[in-house]
Chains A and B, each alone.
Chain A
Amino acid sequence: MKINPRLLTLILSISLLIIAFLSLFIGAADIPAVDILAALSGTADTSTEIIIIELRLPRVLLGILAGASLGLSGAALQGLLRNPLADPGVIGVSATAGLGAVIAIYFGLSLLFPLSIQILSMGGALLATLILSFISSRDSSVLTLILAGIGISSLSTAAIALTMNFAPNAMSLQDMILWLLGSLENRTMTDISLAGPFIIGGWLIMRGVGQGLDASSLGEDTAHTLGINLKRLRMKVILGSAISVGATVSVCGAIGFVGLVVPHMVRSLIGHAPGHLLVPSALFGSILLTIADLITRIPLGHGQLKLGVVTAFVGSPLFLYIIYKTRGAMR
């Protein structure tokens, strides 16, 4: 049974609001819902306000921004590359952003200047984007893009491994590993004001691509004859997802799998039209990441669950189930 895309968007928006509020509610300190609302409207006492506005709210907001970027980029890239296996990792952006962060930790820059991880990893994402735009401006095939992305990705992964291999000490190695696992812990409004504009800017670049992606399902030639400027479409999707995902990775670390699985989950609800997948995938990504972040707060014996680990553990079984259910349709 298929749901109308607009109805799904409405359902997902309401669910996201509820889950986000739930996420503000759950934490070490027991704060009643009334006080949370008071804190959000700025009328609570100081200690409650600090806990809600400075500790929990950034985490929730970042989860929403990050999840939406990953979901939206995944859906847009799968539509553009006409390939259900595409995700922000495929164009190499996640890996280069990760490399930037690992380098910042390697040289101890993060100790000298706290935002260096974020800045270097955004620089990494930008570099990947520049290489991709350079290659795709000379050749117009999407296959070239995928292959270039894989090349950039492999190179960055190798460089990450090299950096970890020569990590100056065990502490920094552990920092790198923890960072690569992804997290929303201890994020502040500073992180949001640094990454937020890029994340939202990336979404804005991607606005209006739905029609072009729908047309592309008939092949690039036919899309062209339907009046779609393919070069422009490609630029918008690549640049938009690189900027929003790069900024996401720069503050949250590498969060795998959301970009790949979310569009598949939405497809199983509303069908395969790439243009219809964009907004629901963004909302679904936010929901998935917020839930995964809630799971990381479950107290365990020692250590804490990392976000990237949880998204993969929650996402993969669902993904396998959906692939099993829809295996006949993909031919």
Chain B
Amino acid sequence: MTLEARNIHVTIKDNTILKGASLSVPKGKLIGLIGPNGAGKSTLLRAVLGLVDTQSGTISLDTEALSNWTLKQRAKKISYAAQGAPVHWPLDVEHIISLGRIPHLDPWQKISDTDNELIQQAMIKTDTLHLANRLVTTLSGGERACVMLARAIVSEADYLCADEPIASLDPYHQIQVMDILRDLANDDHGVLIVLHDLTLAQRYCDELILLHQGEVLSTGTAEQVLTPDNLDKAYHIRASRWQENGDSFLSPWKISGRPDHR
């Protein structure tokens, strides 16, 4: 059971964004999609969700081509937490989370007791129960991120794609969100996240995919991907590394060169 993209090419208005990128998200794994700004991470994530037109390449969901699934069927299998967690109306938190049940409801169908049960569970998992009646406009960035995760979780999809779920969060909420995502993967979900924090990426992800100029530069475990050569080539940085209780960590440290402006 895998969500897969093979050899994806995307060109938007004469800009080539992806040049044959591939990824694979098996159930039960937390996969980190990393790379510098403009490498094509968000585009690849959106391609996997069917949100961008691809020029070539195949996307498959549980061995069946994504295009063979209806929108509704896809929605039941893959959930998405968009970058910046946009909400356009001052809605209350419980209502927002309930929107995650839409894939399972007919247009006129109301939320049932079973749905409410799942909403409660999702709020417990994401520690948002106390926010249920708050308006989303009154939440902090960290609270908002957790609410959006609850909304994605409540759809009971096998796969979750999250675009920079921890961007601009404080360390507490970064770790909280990564813990939630890790738990989801341990719970046999396939989780794909775009992220910039290499320290957390190394610590939490089962596998990393390093994108560089629209291509996959390296893929594998954090040790295989975050090598000094790869960091230099993709990010033009050097990292400092240390060990604690038998685990190894790294932190971006110094600029090692200049990006070549294409």
Contacts and interface: CB of A to CB of B under 8 A. Distances in A.
Nearest to B151: A218
Nearest to B110: A6
Majority-rule SS of A interface residues: loop
B132 interface: no
B88 A219 contact: yes
A154 interface: no
Interface residues of A, number: 27
A218 B96 contact: yes
A210 interface: yes
B46 interface: yes
A227 B95 CA distance: 18
B80 A330 contact: no
A274 interface: yes
Contact of B78 (A225, A271, A330): A225
B242 interface: no
Contacts of B131: none
Contacts of A222: 80, 82, 86
B74 interface: yes
B137 interface: yes
B124 interface: no
A219 B84 CA distance: 11
A13 B183 CA distance: 49
B79 interface: yes
A227 B89 contact: no
A217 B76 contact: no
Nearest to A2: B92
A218 B82 contact: yes
B97 to A, nearest CB: 11
B51 A224 contact: yes
Interface string A137-148: 000000000000
A214 B87 CA distance: 11
A211 B102 contact: yes
Interface in B42-87: 46, 49-51, 70-76, 78-80, 82, 86-87
B75 A227 contact: yes
Contact of B107 (A208, A217, A218): A208
B99 interface: yes
B258 to A, nearest CB: 34
Interface string A238-280: 0000000000000000000000000000000001111000000
B126 interface: no
A81 to B, nearest CB: 10
23 contacts: A82-B88, A208-B108, A209-B107, A214-B102, A217-B88, A217-B99, A218-B151, A219-B86, A221-B46, A221-B51, A222-B80, A222-B86, A225-B74, A225-B75, A226-B99, A226-B100, A226-B102, A226-B103, A227-B72, A227-B74, A271-B91, A274-B89, A330-B90
Q: What are the 6 tightest A-B residue pairs by CB atom distance, in nearest-first order?
A: A227-B75, A272-B89, A225-B80, A208-B107, A227-B72, A82-B88
Given A214-B99, A217-B91, A224-B50, 16 more contacts: A82-B88, A82-B89, A211-B108, A216-B88, A219-B82, A219-B86, A221-B49, A221-B51, A222-B82, A222-B86, A224-B49, A226-B75, A272-B91, A273-B95, A329-B135, A330-B90
